[in-house]
Amino acid sequence: MEKELYQPKTIQDAIKFFANLDTCLQYLIPMRWPEGITCPHCADTENSFIASRHLWRCKGCKKQFSIKIGSIMEDSPLGLDKWLVAIWLITNAKNGISSYEIHRALGITQKSAWFLAHRIRLAFETGSFSLMSGQVECDETFIGGKAHFMHADKREAVGRGGKGKAIVMGVLERNEALHKVPLKT
């Protein structure tokens, strides 16, 4: 019988529960590695835990890794206490939550709160907290009115190219199974 994970009911409970890094790790380990902790570099299951740094050291490739590596939390200086409370806030907000509310609740900058919120929402859309891998495509474009439709005064100020236009970027992770299907000749 599987042990059910504790789920905080209020924001106060969430802040208290996720304040301890060891509790955060015990909460995330079964979700991240249901079959046991594996090295993200070489997929070896033999590792040792470095308690003073909250890291694992792989016995196969000798590299160190944390629970954040390969997830949406990778490369973020914010701790698990902030990430998990932010995830709790976003999932429990009935009508959504702004980055300003996250910034006030967690005591971080609004810019960091915006970053957290976007990464978490992206993870909810994709259904996974892991980063993109394999074949990834990206492209960018400028969105805005064409210069020749503008009044002459504005056209001279804007010019050609991306000046005065919004930059939009799209990123797509390709499914490897689609590339292995043989084409009909």
**pLDDT, tens digit, 9 for 90 and up, residues 109-133:** 999 999 999 999 888 887 765 555 5
- C-beta separation of 58 from 39 below 8 A: yes
- C-beta separation of 38 from 67 below 8 A: no
DSSP H/E element including 135: none
- pLDDT over threshold 50, residue 180: no
What is the reported pTM? 0.65
pLDDT band at 96 (very low <50, low <70, confident <90, very high): confident
- C-beta separation of 37 from 29 below 8 A: yes
Quick one: what percent of the chain has pLDDT higher than 90?
A: 42
- C-beta separation of 17 from 6 below 8 A: yes
pLDDT band at 81 (very low <50, low <70, confident <90, very high): very high
Instruction: Give the mean model confidence (pLDDT) for residues 146-163.
Output: 67
Q: What per-residue confidence (pLDDT) applies to 181?
A: 41
Structure confidence by residue, pLDDT tens digits, 12-51: 999 999 999 999 999 989 888 888 999 988 989 999 999 9
Q: What per-residue confidence (pLDDT) applies to 185?
A: 40
Instruction: Give the mean model confidence (pLDDT) for residues 59-71.
Output: 91
What is d(CA 161, CA 130) in angstroms, rounded to the nearest whole number?
35
Half-sphere exposure of 83 (CA within 13 A, CB side): 21
